[in-house]
């Protein structure tokens, strides 16, 4: 769209558009003040500790003439804030991440600097893995397909896709993915993170302007940096702010193309992109749209086709569809899909196709079997169970008086605890009650908005969810997490 035409095009009438993406209740002023005060006290104690009791690991040696290996604040944060809650992360598992998971128990004798295994294991209900549709299982049609592929092709092809790393199962998966999504073509990659970080530079370059949601994933941010494109950030799911930035960019008249980059379901907020409104903006101003469906494909929509299915948007109206196989498909890798011309461009220019190791054939077979299962009546039943479990869990959680973020249909359910200490205490006490979950804090979230992230699955029974909710209620009462002021 030219500069003159931008001034002629009227603004969007937002009263006629659906823009709700989820609930984001704010904490009280007292809660915010106490959270900040607690954080500053913790940082002050860390500075005192660093000043008088500096550990040997904190000293870089033989570095004369070289830049420091680590950022000073990152060093301080890792040693004196993150270390205090380090026991809540990187928990080893000794089973498949199904509805239940087995955790290998650890202990520390030096305040989380190091850990030792105790020799004990604990079976917990799994509310931490992205196993949305329950396909991460040790037996069944998907596991059988992976086993057969391993026997035929081996575990790896020892080459990139552009050389000797393409086999029949890759081509079949790409065709099935394109048909599943309702577009012309698709290309698959062996790693979900790299699908963005290595795929984006092959699609976007200098002379392009990217309008990026402020909560986009780190893989998208890295890909945009490697692409050396100009990036402007709009407020999370704020279509009015996006429209303002788009009009301003068009008036500048210097961009080859303007691309909007968003996610379908945001993994830290549990929010859903208002896709119909976004497509309306795209059409009005002649923009391009890149949609990351890592957490939504398989999990959203009546047919499990993602947020396009959920929103009733023709997938061909989205220029670039990206997704991963690490969540709903219980596997690894990702895809970029769209027009045949787009996919051919990614094959020719994307680093992932030319240089990265190709997707393991057993993994591709697992994805292929899961995708075909989703397209069957039994798969549609799994999608329906996930939706019912998600709504039930969210409604029960909200009745406890805690603050949860996100959309009622998002299987990612963040519960705000605000402080690092409460995050660690919640993870510990839930694990004691046989519930395995994930605490999330800085840098994945703002410093003062630590949270517990629950992930729902179609594999969860109602009895398991009730057991989890009973445990959560007990922990909420013990620690004091009833922050919600809604009736």
Q: What is the pLDDT of residues 137-153, one digit of tens each?
A: 888 899 999 999 999 99
Is the pLDDT score of 62 beyond 80? no
Q: Name the token pair of 363.
A: 């993994």
**pLDDT at 122 (0 to 100):** 94
Residue 291: pLDDT band with limits 50, 70, 90: very high
Based on the domain organization, do 434 and 464 belong to the same domain? Answer: yes
Q: To 10 degrees, the CA torsion angle through 279, 282, 288, 291?
A: -30
Residue 364: pLDDT band with limits 50, 70, 90: very high
More confident residue, 25 or 439: 439
Q: Provide the domain count of the chain.
A: 2
Based on the domain organization, do 368 and 386 belong to the same domain? Answer: no
Q: Residue 205 forms beta bridges with which residues?
A: none
**pLDDT at 21 (0 to 100):** 65
- Gyration radius of the chain over CA positions: 23
Is the pLDDT score of 423 beyond 90? yes
Is the pLDDT score of 467 beyond 80? yes
Q: Residue 451 forms beta bridges with which residues?
A: 416, 440
pLDDT digits (tens, 9 = 90+) for 191-217: 999 999 999 998 988 889 999 999 999
**pLDDT at 35 (0 to 100):** 87
Is the pLDDT score of 5 beyond 70? no
Is the pLDDT score of 109 beyond 60? yes
Instruction: Establish if 20 belongs to a structural domain.
Output: no
Q: Where are the alpha helices (DSSP H) in 327-461?
A: 340-349, 351-354, 361-374, 377-399, 420-432
Instruction: Say how far apart CA 320 and CA 330 lie, in whole Å.
Output: 23
Instruction: Establish if 358 belongs to a structural domain.
Output: yes
Q: Name the token pair of 428.
A: 């510990």
Based on the domain organization, do 102 and 191 belong to the same domain? Answer: no
Residue 474: pLDDT band with limits 50, 70, 90: very high
Residue 447: pLDDT band with limits 50, 70, 90: confident
Are β-strands 208-213 and 257-263 bridged in parallel, bridged antiparallel, or unpaired?
A: parallel
**pLDDT at 7 (0 to 100):** 59
Q: Give me the long-range contacts of 422-425 (CB less than 8 A, separation at least 24).
A: 422/450, 422/479, 422/480, 422/481, 423/85, 423/88, 423/450, 423/451, 423/452, 424/84, 424/85, 424/87, 424/88, 425/479
**pLDDT at 389 (0 to 100):** 97
Based on the domain organization, do 217 and 342 belong to the same domain? Answer: yes
Q: Are 346 and 187 in contact (CB under 8 A)?
A: yes
Based on the domain organization, do 93 and 217 belong to the same domain? Answer: no
Is the pLDDT score of 99 beyond 70? yes
Is the pLDDT score of 71 beyond 60? yes
**pLDDT at 205 (0 to 100):** 83
Question: Where a domain ends, among 359, 375, 391?
Answer: 375
What mean pLDDT is predicted for residues 283-290? 95
Is the pLDDT score of 107 beyond 60? yes
pLDDT digits (tens, 9 = 90+) for 258-272: 999 999 999 999 999
What mean pLDDT is predicted for residues 417-428? 92
What mean pLDDT is predicted for residues 21-40? 84
Based on the domain organization, do 409 and 322 belong to the same domain? Answer: no
Based on the domain organization, do 345 and 444 belong to the same domain? Answer: no
**pLDDT at 432 (0 to 100):** 94
Question: Where a domain ends, among 337, 358, 375?
Answer: 375
Based on the domain organization, do 336 and 245 belong to the same domain? Answer: yes
Residue 18 has what DSSP assignment? -
Are β-strands 450-455 and 412-418 bridged in parallel, bridged antiparallel, or unpaired?
A: antiparallel
Non-local CB neighbours of 441 within 8 Å, separated by 6+ positions: 85, 420, 423, 447, 450, 451
**pLDDT at 387 (0 to 100):** 96
Is the pLDDT score of 487 beyond 60? no
Is the pLDDT score of 22 beyond 90? no
Instruction: Say how far apart CA 427 and CA 288 lie, in whole Å.
Output: 41
Instruction: Establish if 11 belongs to a structural domain.
Output: no
Is the pLDDT score of 250 beyond 70? yes
Instruction: Say how far apart CA 431 and CA 429 lie, in whole Å.
Output: 5
**DSSP per position, 464-478:** HHHHHHHHHHHHHHH
Based on the domain organization, do 184 and 57 belong to the same domain? Answer: no
Based on the domain organization, do 177 and 284 belong to the same domain? Answer: yes
Instruction: Establish if 233 belongs to a structural domain.
Output: yes
Based on the domain organization, do 211 and 280 belong to the same domain? Answer: yes
Is the pLDDT score of 69 beyond 90? no
- 3-class SS at 219? helix
CATH number of the domain within which 250 lies: 3.40.640.10
Q: Are 111 and 390 in contact (CB under 8 A)?
A: no
What mean pLDDT is predicted for residues 169-196? 95
Q: Which domain holds residue 42?
A: 29-126+379-479
CATH number of the domain within which 42 lies: 3.90.1150.10
Based on the domain organization, do 192 and 325 belong to the same domain? Answer: yes
> Quick one: which of 140, 95, 125, 100 has its CA closest to 378?
140
Instruction: Establish if 275 belongs to a structural domain.
Output: yes
**pLDDT at 58 (0 to 100):** 61
Instruction: Establish if 303 belongs to a structural domain.
Output: yes
C-alpha atoms less than 13 angstroms from C-alpha of 330 in its C-beta half-sphere? 31
**pLDDT at 73 (0 to 100):** 78
Question: Where a domain ends, among 375, 401, 423?
Answer: 375
**pLDDT at 3 (0 to 100):** 52
CB atoms within 10 A of CB 7: 10
Instruction: Establish if 265 belongs to a structural domain.
Output: yes
Instruction: Establish if 1 belongs to a structural domain.
Output: no
Q: Name the token pair of 395.
A: 């409604």
**pLDDT at 238 (0 to 100):** 93
Instruction: Say how far apart CA 440 and CA 455 lie, in whole Å.
Output: 13
Q: Mean pLDDT score of the chain, rounded to an integer? A: 90
């Amino acid at each position: 769209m030219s500069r003159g035409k931008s001034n002629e095009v009227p603004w969007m009438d937002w009263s006629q558009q659906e823009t709700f993406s989820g609930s984001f209740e704010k904490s009280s002023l007292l809660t915010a003040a106490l959270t900040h005060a607690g954080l500053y006290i913790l940082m002050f104690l860390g500075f005192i500790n660093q000043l008088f009791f500096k550990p040997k690991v904190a000293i870089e040696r033989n570095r004369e003439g070289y830049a420091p290996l680590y950022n000073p604040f990152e060093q301080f944060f890792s040693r004196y804030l993150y270390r205090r809650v380090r026991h809540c992360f990187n928990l080893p598992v000794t089973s498949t991440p199904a509805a239940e998971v087995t955790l290998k128990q650890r202990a520390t004798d030096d305040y989380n600097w190091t850990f030792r295994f105790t020799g004990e294991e604990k079976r917990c209900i799994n509310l931490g893995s992205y196993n949305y549709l329950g396909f991460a299982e040790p037996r069944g049609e998907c596991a059988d397909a992976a086993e057969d592929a391993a026997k035929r092709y081996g575990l790896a092809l020892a080459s990139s896709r552009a050389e000797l790393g393409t086999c029949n199962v890759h081509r079949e998966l790409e065709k099935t993915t394109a048909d599943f999504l309702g577009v012309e073509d698709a290309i698959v990659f062996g790693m979900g993170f790299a699908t963005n970080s290595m795929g984006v530079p092959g699609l976007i370059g200098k002379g392009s302007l990217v309008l990026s949601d402020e909560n986009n994933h780190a893989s998208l941010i890295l890909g945009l940096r490697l692409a050396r494109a100009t990036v402007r950030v709009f407020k999370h799911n704020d279509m009015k702010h996006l429209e303002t930035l788009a009009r301003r960019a068009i008036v500048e008249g210097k961009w080859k193309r303007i691309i909007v980059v968003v996610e379908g379901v945001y993994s830290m907020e549990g929010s859903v992109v208002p896709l119909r409104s976004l497509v309306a903006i795209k059409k009005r101003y002649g923009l391009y749209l890149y949609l990351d469906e890592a957490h939504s494909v398989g999990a959203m929509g009546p047919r499990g086709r993602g947020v396009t299915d959920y929103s009733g948007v023709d997938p061909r109206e989205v220029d670039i569809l990206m997704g991963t196989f690490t969540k709903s498909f219980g596997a690894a890798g990702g895809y970029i899909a769209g027009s045949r011309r787009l996919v051919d461009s990614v094959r020719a220019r994307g680093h992932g196709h030319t240089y990265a190791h190709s997707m393991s054939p057993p993994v591709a077979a697992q994805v292929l079997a899961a995708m075909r299962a989703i397209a069957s009546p039994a798969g549609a039943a799994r999608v329906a169970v996930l939706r019912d479990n998600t709504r039930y869990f969210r409604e029960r959680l909200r009745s406890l008086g805690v603050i949860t973020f996100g959309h009622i249909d998002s299987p990612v359910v963040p519960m705000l605890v605000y402080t690092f200490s409460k995050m660690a205490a919640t993870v510990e006490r839930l694990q004691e009650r046989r519930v395995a979950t994930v605490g999330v804090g800085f840098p994945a979230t703002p410093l003062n908005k630590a949270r517990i992230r629950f992930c729902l699955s179609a594999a969860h029974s109602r009895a398991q969810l009730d057991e989890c909710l009973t445990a959560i209620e007990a922990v909420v009462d013990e620690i004091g997490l009833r922050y919600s002021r809604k009736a």
